[in-house]
Structure 1
Amino acid sequence: MKIDTGKSPKALGYRFPAEFEPHAATWLSWPHKEASWPGKIDSIFPAYAKFIQLLSEGEEVHINVANPSMEAFARKHIEAAGATMDQVCFHYFPTNDAWCRDHGPAFLVNDQAEQRKALVKWNYNAWGGKYPPFDLDNEIPYHIARYRNIPTFSPGIIMEGGSIEVNGKGTLMTTEACLLNPNRNPHLSKPEIEVFLKEYYGVDHILWLKDGIVGDDTDGHIDDLTRFVNEDTVVTVVEEDKADENYEVLKENVELLEQMTLESGKSLNIVELPMPKAVIFEDMRLPASYANFYIANTSVIVPTFRDSNDDKALSILQSCFPDRKVVGVDSWDLIWGLGSFHCLSQQEPA
């Protein structure tokens, strides 16, 4: 169902809620692409199933699979992890890959509208055409809209969920490295991109960081860098080792954050989160970051990397989320796919 009023979601009163607001569900696309975890895909399923188990404690989990055999395979792993299976629902919506944050829809809400929920179907090109094919992934928002019977807005430009972060009150944060990359929307200027962000996410105020972390093949997604934990507080990753490749980039991000203000005019509260030591596999630095956590209804699920900073990062995040349990889940194998729990998931607001 499309809304064809000639008006944007913002003009119709819709907004994109913050991840820490209540969820109706989390959407996932079951991992099956061997090339995303070459030589390691079998080792990721225990951590992925643990993620689903934790989600199922507090909300529905909807999983896109290709067919009954993929469902049976997934079900076996999820049951072994002890998930609440009556909270888990499978859909035969085939995908090319598992990164539902980026190919899934952006769910919008408007408590005053007849249709209180809608979604944005952005176009998806696998981070600038890096990993074809992506035709099945690009259809996922349409499948979900039909299943939920909710209206769809289609702006017609490339946008990925991992590239933006909102506080739910009118501020959106992103990075120049990703959204201004010519492999996304080369025909759009920065001011033109801001118009799309405001009109389709229902925000008023855009904050721009610059570069992402080393090894991030998305060209600098914000969800490896800086995350809102409430409407006026961000956690942001920092690197203490001056010899590390990430040191200068992350230091510059903190300096930019210190100058920024929210839609209300208030300065940001900034909480610093350490980085793990470099995770290197087959001579390749992987984008390991504690910022790639996912905020669920009852828990905050954090990737850990068998590192001395794991416990420190969990403790800092627990102080940011006093009403949820913060749980670390080993992401050592998962990060070989160049993403973790936030990249793999998409929240559907209540």
Structure 2
Amino acid sequence: MPSEWAKQDWLWIGFPHDPVEWPEVLPRAQEQIAAFANAVAESGQDVRLLVRDAANEARARQLTTAAVTLERRTYGDVWLRDTGPLVVRGADGARRAMRFGFNGWGGKFEMEGDQTIGAEIAADAGLEVQTADWILEGGAIDNDGTGTVVTTEQCLLNPNRNPQLTRSQIEARLQRDLGFTRVVWLGQGLLNDHTDGHVDNLARFVGPNRIAIPRATMADDPNRAIYDDARQRAAEAGLDVIEMPSPGLVSAGEFAEPASYMNFTITTHLVAVPVFGTPQDGAAIELLQSLFPDRRVVGLPADAVLAGGGGFHCASQQMPSAAD
């Protein structure tokens, strides 16, 4: 499986459509996802924005530039990182789409189309589709392109996913299905993350053997201990750890949202970072720009997207090119 910074042919993005899943924030969530799609398209990379029906296609067309391609599809929610295809590449550059079982993040949110959208868009892209015999969401893993993958025990060892599989059996399947030769296990994911601790909200590779993990920057940060444990585990695994700022406490009433700058999306020319209007936004963008000097790094408001349960990385899936 190529790293995310490998050259991409296009980016799939899901467009929010369901007012039940996005109570009170649907229009703003649509605007924020559209701004994300526009930014990637304007950077020079193709974008395929999935829309659910005619009304949502019209709404998306109002919000996006002509550079964004709209595709009408049947899908439940926008989180294509988890329901879309994971594309692997052979030594000759030949690409194949891997699909895994999907059970609505442990049975929490089971919606029409989420089981089938990954295979559908992969087949329409001309990819051979192979289905694995276990449950895995794309947001549960992050890789550096050299065979190393990082994940969390909270998610991949959760009994609501693959209770029949041991840790070693999961490692063997990660190698068999995606080519990973080394698994780095972190512990817990962010507080109140309904995905049961997806790693793409906690720790992200920014180069071979180089990983970015937040450090708490405010006294009331609800994830301080989680960040500290993740950095320690990554360092003990021999990874070069880059400390990112955390947005701190981002709350909706008394509920601590799983807000994270780590849910950034790497595209061929651009890195799109979710921002939340906190004092740390600028520092996060500046640090990521230093880590990706060959790409433009932009911060885009993502509070409404977060209210739906994720970020820009969660809502997108890349199509790697046949060669870097």
User: What is the TM-score normalised by the length of structure 1?
Assistant: 0.88
One-letter code aligned to 2:138: G
For 1:145 and 1:276, locate their aligned partners in 2 and report how far apart those are by CA, in whole Å. Answer: 35
Question: Which residue of the other structure, out of 314, 330, 335, is the alignment partner of 2:285?
Answer: 314
For 1:204 and 1:244, locate their aligned partners in 2 and report how far apart those are by CA, in whole Å. Answer: 34
Question: Which residue of the other structure, out of 301, 309, 315, is the alignment partner of 1:330?
Answer: 301
RMSD over aligned Cα atoms: 1.4
Post-superposition offset of 1:243: 5.1
Partner of 1:275: 246
Query: What are the ranges of 5 or more consecutive residues in structure 2 without an aligned counterpart?
Result: none
Partner of 1:302: 273
Q: Which segment is superposed worse, 62-71 or 48-57? A: 62-71
1:23 to 2:8 alignment: yes
Residues 62-211 of structure 1 correspond to what in structure 2 (within 5 A)?
Answer: 62-79=48-65, 85-86=66-67, 88-112=68-92, 116-133=94-111, 135-211=112-188
Equivalenced residues, count: 320
One-letter code aligned to 1:136: G
The answer as to whether partners of 2:203 and 2:262 remain within 8 angstroms in 1 is: yes
For the pair shown, the structure with the greater C-alpha radius of gyration is 1
Post-superposition offset of 1:298: 0.9
Structure with the larger strand share: 2
Query: What are the ranges of 5 or more consecutive residues in structure 1 without an aligned counterpart?
Result: 1-15, 80-84, 262-267
One-letter code aligned to 1:323: D
For 1:259 and 1:321, locate their aligned partners in 2 and report how far apart those are by CA, in whole Å. Answer: 25
For 2:135 and 2:191, locate their aligned partners in 1 and report how far apart those are by CA, in whole Å. Answer: 23
One-letter code aligned to 2:161: R
Post-superposition offset of 1:177: 0.3
Partner of 2:206: 229
For 1:320 and 1:333, locate their aligned partners in 2 and report how far apart those are by CA, in whole Å. Answer: 27
Post-superposition offset of 1:89: 2.4
The answer as to whether partners of 2:13 and 2:37 remain within 8 angstroms in 1 is: no
The answer as to whether partners of 1:22 and 1:297 remain within 8 angstroms in 2 is: yes
Post-superposition offset of 1:293: 0.4
Post-superposition offset of 1:241: 4.2
The answer as to whether partners of 2:2 and 2:320 remain within 8 angstroms in 1 is: yes
For 2:103 and 2:19, locate their aligned partners in 1 and report how far apart those are by CA, in whole Å. Answer: 19
Indicate the SS of the match to 1:35: coil
- Measured against aligned partners, the alpha-carbon deviations of 1:295-341 in whole angstroms (never above 9, x if no partner) come to 01111100111011001111111110011111000112221112110
- Measured against aligned partners, the alpha-carbon deviations of 1:24-82 in whole angstroms (never above 9, x if no partner) come to 11011211122332111111222211101111122111122223332222111113xxx
For 2:69 and 2:76, locate their aligned partners in 1 and report how far apart those are by CA, in whole Å. Answer: 19
For 1:64 and 1:333, locate their aligned partners in 2 and report how far apart those are by CA, in whole Å. Answer: 18
For 1:58 and 1:220, locate their aligned partners in 2 and report how far apart those are by CA, in whole Å. Answer: 33
For 1:242 and 1:73, locate their aligned partners in 2 and report how far apart those are by CA, in whole Å. Answer: 41
Indicate the SS of the match to 2:13: strand
Post-superposition offset of 1:178: 0.4
The answer as to whether partners of 1:233 and 1:270 remain within 8 angstroms in 2 is: yes
User: What is the TM-score normalised by the length of structure 2?
Assistant: 0.95
Quick one: structure 1 residues 243 and 148, their matched pair in 2 at CA, closer, same or farther if it must change by over 3 Å?
A: closer
The answer as to whether partners of 2:192 and 2:256 remain within 8 angstroms in 1 is: yes
Q: Which segment is superposed worse, 337-346 or 244-253? A: 244-253
Identity of aligned residues (%): 34
The answer as to whether partners of 1:58 and 1:296 remain within 8 angstroms in 2 is: no
The answer as to whether partners of 1:237 and 1:250 remain within 8 angstroms in 2 is: yes
Q: Which segment is superposed worse, 276-285 or 18-27? A: 276-285
